[in-house]
Amino acid sequence: VIRSEIGRLDDIITQFLRFAAEPQIHLRTEDVGELVDSVITQEAGQAAARGVRLASEVAAGQKTVIDARQMRQVLLNLIANAIESMEGGGEVRIAAGPQDAGVEIVVEDDGPGMSPEELELALELHFTTKDKGTGLGLPISQRIVERHGGFLNLESRKGVGTKATIRIPQGGLKG
């Protein structure tokens, strides 16, 4: 129990430090499909254990200029949140394609969704609906996307599911 709690506290501290630090962006042309596939591969075990199917619909050869390490963190946060929300199984769909001279990545689930009140607070620091959540994953994700010059939008309906849309303009780096 003590080791488990130490691990959990270490995760919280690491996430908090990641949030507090201004992330340095290292841009390179990356294949969005390869990035999405690698995240799906990493999350496949957790998804299978919960009876969740991961489906990828990424346009072939979709490349964009991003910091792949940081965008990977964003996708991991969104996909892990979707998987964890679905107690009785379901599906998480990840789609990506060109959008207004940039790229759009959508992570959508058919989980329990959020109430309007929860949705309004979802991107606020330390807000969580999880028993052991830190409330840092979505704010960190939003910050990373904004540092790429883009935005993260959440839509959700209770009993229907949640949709996270990331839009990043080509070469839209801020700061």
* pTM for the whole structure: 0.81
Query: Phi and psi (nearest 5°) for 83?
Result: -60, -50
Tell me the average pLDDT across 27-36: 92
Confidence of residue 166 (pLDDT cuts 50, 70, 90): very high
- Angstrom distance (rounded) from CA 150 to CA 5: 35
Q: pLDDT of 72-94, one tens digit each?
A: 999 999 999 999 989 889 999 99
